[in-house]
Structure 1
């Protein structure tokens, strides 16, 4: 597909999806949403890809919704609004459920829907000069479609404040509340992401996929007998998988596993 709003590059098991509308601070519109959904769906199925970086060109990561798109939406009927919102919600879910680990590289301002994009990723690395904001209530709106991911990422207590106040959040504060995993200076941001990517692609691709599902499936569950049985079944299954057997054998034989050959 000839992408207009994003760029995709691939190198050494890693795909980089780059928001490429710097002239509007990478604010997204219907085209951006459709392209992101397609890109993450296809990359998630690509066996040559072991990790994905979500990045952006220009001084901002993502300013949320494009103003021209918002003007169009102002004239939508209820059914058109619902269909449009559903497409956004589906795109975020596609990133969240992507079988490959996704690392967000936040080099600048990350506002509104941009925070949803970052929260849908598995790992968030940000420049220490970046700012974040859940600005929807300033416009008479609410961050509904991004809320499931943002609240998981920063926790309910922090969300209570920032969803209601629409205050700007510094990179240090975003890191403190757990929304951002790691901070780096602007000059060191690429290196910080590269270190995490190196760790991801060095691991068993099958185990990484299953570990991502594991965290998602059990994060909010009660530790009861059903969960104990479920987790026992998962480790038993992966021990007998091809990569599970190869990983243990390579460790015992003091050699590199096949996925690093």
Structure 2
């Protein structure tokens, strides 16, 4: 259900669970294992997740696994997967085509960068089944604000890629046949950064979302002084700029 490869420092992970890449627990575990593999591979500098199925990034979690006997296990598995992506120390990119609904939508929102095709359809229809999308309920207000989040989560509306981009949910919308190329372009750009700096910046970014502004500013300053500037890359980047040369990253 997963295709995995590494090329030029980019781990390419593609969902392939016909017909709609339904996220059952087996696929969640496989994807989580693939993300772990990329995270622990020193040759990987960015992680890209896409789909081998043109009509769906993922149409959501398996409804059968929402029933009382399986729901606690499914939700725990999904939470672990989301956190592996959301808090990953490496840059992550999602390439979204077709249906991106329910758990598939929540999965896509966990990535640092999300590229979607013009015809992509996004949303969380769980409320229509008297259910709820737990990840989206917590994550979406932080991504798109209260009004945009409520439109998607509470009304259960399917929205276009253009609407989603307007609400801050997507990095870029491109023609359907350009999704993979554009996602790869962003992954390559991110792969050229110092992983030492990326790791520290992402940690500050997410921590700051749950702090008040003053506390967040101080946390960012402290992290810069106590962590970032003490890395080899933190000094290398500044010296390279001053010496008018390209930096050579050690990722330390």
| TM-score above 0.5, yes or no | yes
* TM-fit CA distance, 1:72: 5.7
Superposed CA deviations along residues 42-74 of structure 1, whole A, max 9, x for unmatched, are 3222221111111011121100023xxx33654
User: 2:39 and 2:104 mapped to 1: Cα distance?
Assistant: 21
After TM superposition, the structure 1 = structure 2 runs for residues 121-136 of structure 1, keeping only pairs within 5 Å, are 121-136=111-126
User: 1:106 and 1:227 mapped to 2: Cα distance?
Assistant: 32
User: Which moves more between the two structures, 27-36 or 183-192?
Assistant: 183-192
Give the 3-state SS of the residue equivalent to 2:135 in structure 1. coil
Give the 3-state SS of the residue equivalent to 1:48 in structure 2. coil
- Structure 2 counterpart of 1:35: 30
Report if aligned partners of 2:91, 2:187 keep a CA contact under 8 Å in 1. Answer: no
User: 2:64 and 2:222 mapped to 1: Cα distance?
Assistant: 51
- Structure 1 counterpart of 2:43: 48
**CA separation of 1:131 and 1:240: change in aligned 2, threshold 3 A:** same
Report if aligned partners of 2:92, 2:187 keep a CA contact under 8 Å in 1. Answer: no
Superposed CA deviations along residues 89-126 of structure 1, whole A, max 9, x for unmatched, are 11111111111111111011100000111111111110
User: 1:241 and 1:172 mapped to 2: Cα distance?
Assistant: 40
- Structure 1 counterpart of 2:167: 177
- Structure 2 counterpart of 1:200: 190
- Structure 1 counterpart of 2:137: 147
- Structure 1 counterpart of 2:200: 210
User: 1:218 and 1:258 mapped to 2: Cα distance?
Assistant: 29
Report if aligned partners of 1:52, 1:102 keep a CA contact under 8 Å in 2. Answer: yes
Superposed CA deviations along residues 124-164 of structure 1, whole A, max 9, x for unmatched, are 11011111121111222111134323332222211212222
User: 1:12 and 1:121 mapped to 2: Cα distance?
Assistant: 20
Give the 3-state SS of the residue equivalent to 1:258 in structure 2. coil
1:93 aligns with 2:83: yes
User: 2:141 and 2:36 mapped to 1: Cα distance?
Assistant: 24
User: 2:236 and 2:155 mapped to 1: Cα distance?
Assistant: 52
**CA separation of 1:6 and 1:147: change in aligned 2, threshold 3 A:** farther
User: 1:81 and 1:198 mapped to 2: Cα distance?
Assistant: 38
Report if aligned partners of 1:63, 1:114 keep a CA contact under 8 Å in 2. Answer: yes
> Of 10, 13, 22, which aligns to 1:14?
10
**CA separation of 1:145 and 1:228: change in aligned 2, threshold 3 A:** closer
1:238 aligns with 2:228: yes
**CA separation of 1:207 and 1:189: change in aligned 2, threshold 3 A:** same
Q: What's the Cα RMSD here?
A: 1.8
Give the 3-state SS of the residue equivalent to 2:154 in structure 1. helix
The gaps in structure 1 that reach 5 residues or longer are none
* TM-fit CA distance, 1:247: 1.4
User: 1:229 and 1:72 mapped to 2: Cα distance?
Assistant: 43
User: 2:114 and 2:65 mapped to 1: Cα distance?
Assistant: 32
* TM-fit CA distance, 1:25: 0.7
**CA separation of 1:232 and 1:162: change in aligned 2, threshold 3 A:** closer
